[in-house]
Structure formats: structure tokens, C-alpha cells
Amino acid sequence: MFNGKLALALMVAGTVHAADPDAARQGELVRLVRQDCGSCHGMRLTGGLGLPLTAEALRDKPFDGLVATVIYGRPGTAMPPWKSIISENDAEWIVRRLMQGFPEETR
């Protein structure tokens, strides 16, 4: 299992992590998060039917738990599993970026 804290430290230090999706995929993921996760979490990620996903809202949440939520969903809530759409590697990148403050779409 990927070590989230280490990844975060590396990102903060300005090092590109070896497992990052390529630039094209990152663009797709940013759009997916803003537009499709945004259906419930808001395009500005400030929440809606789903919880807010801002860096502040996620500050004290465990990285691995958030990745698992993205991949497997959260039974009993409206959060669906996204594993048919995104890989675990994609999910780790998304969660890392969410915890830093998510990038805007390049338009």
C-alpha cells in the first residue's frame, strides 16, 4: 500500500512522485472531480448532498481511508464506488491533490 504521508511530503518538497498519472490523465481526473464528483460535492468542492472536499475539510482525515472511500464507495450513503472508472493509482493522486487544495480545470 502506498504511503500517503510520504507522498504528501514529497509533493510538498516539490518532487514529482513516480506513480503520478501522466499529464493527460491528470487533466481528465481534474475534470472528472470538478464535474462528476461535483454533482454531489459541488463544482467548487464545498459540499452538497455529499460532504465538502476542500483541503480544510479533509485536513484531519486519514489518506488511506479517503482513497478507500473513492475506490469502494461508502455503503449506506450516496457515495458510489468509482473503481470501474478510476484506478487505485488515480484515486491516490486525486486524494493527494484534494488534501493540498484541488487544481482548477485548464480551460
Q: Which residues bind other proteins (CB under 8 A)?
A: 35-36, 38-40, 42-44, 46-49, 73, 76, 78, 80-82, 84-85, 105, 107
CA-to-CA separations, 93 to 49, 76, 87, in angstroms, rounded? 23, 25, 10
Tell me how far apart the alpha carbons of residues 17 and 77 are, in angstroms, rounded to a whole number.
Answer: 32
Between 36 and 87, CB nearer to other proteins: 36
Shortest distance, position 17 Cβ to other proteins, whole Å: 27
Give min distance, CB of 53 to other proteins, in A.
Answer: 13
Give min distance, CB of 15 to other proteins, in A.
32
Choose between 9 and 49: whose C-beta lies nearer to other proteins: 49
Cβ-based neighbours of 20, under 8 Å, separated by 6 or more: 26, 93
CA-to-CA distance for 27 and 104, rounded, in angstroms? 10
